[in-house]
Amino acid sequence: MNDIGKIIGDRLRNYRKKVKLSQEETAHRASIHTSFLGEVERNEKSPTLESLVKITSALNITLEELFRQTQPSQNSKEAKTLSHIINQLHSLSAKELEDVSKMIDLMLGFRKK
């Protein structure tokens, strides 16, 4: 899929193993399918913002912690873009976050076709 997806998947797997949870237990806590969690960890599927919130909550970490770890360099274009997105998301209401998540899903769905 992409480098960011691989980094996120690797980070999720590392956090999960750090807290000694199986994929099954993590998926149960996050109310997602075990197979989906595995696909995210292997970078076979792109998670939605909503599913990332569920997974990070199950792992007792924040989205900020997850994305902060994906920044290879504070000066990289990817790091600046992610930081900008995260800063904008912090100011949104729950409803607005849900709407943004749906838009991201739509955009990523078109990209996969």
User: What is the per-residue DSSP string for 53-93?
Assistant: HHHHHHTT--HHHHHHTT-S-TTSHHHHHHHHHHHHHHTS-
Question: What are 42-94's pLDDT values in tens digits?
Answer: 999 999 999 999 999 999 999 988 887 544 555 677 777 887 888 888 888 99
* Reported pTM: 0.61
Nearest CA among 80, 83, 8 for reference residue 44: 8
Q: Which of 93, 21, 87, 95 is nearest to 60 (CA)?
A: 21
pLDDT at residue number 75: 60
pLDDT of the residue at 71: 46
Average pLDDT over residues 12-33: 96
What domains appear along the chain, each with residue ranges and CATH number? 3-112 (1.10.260.40)
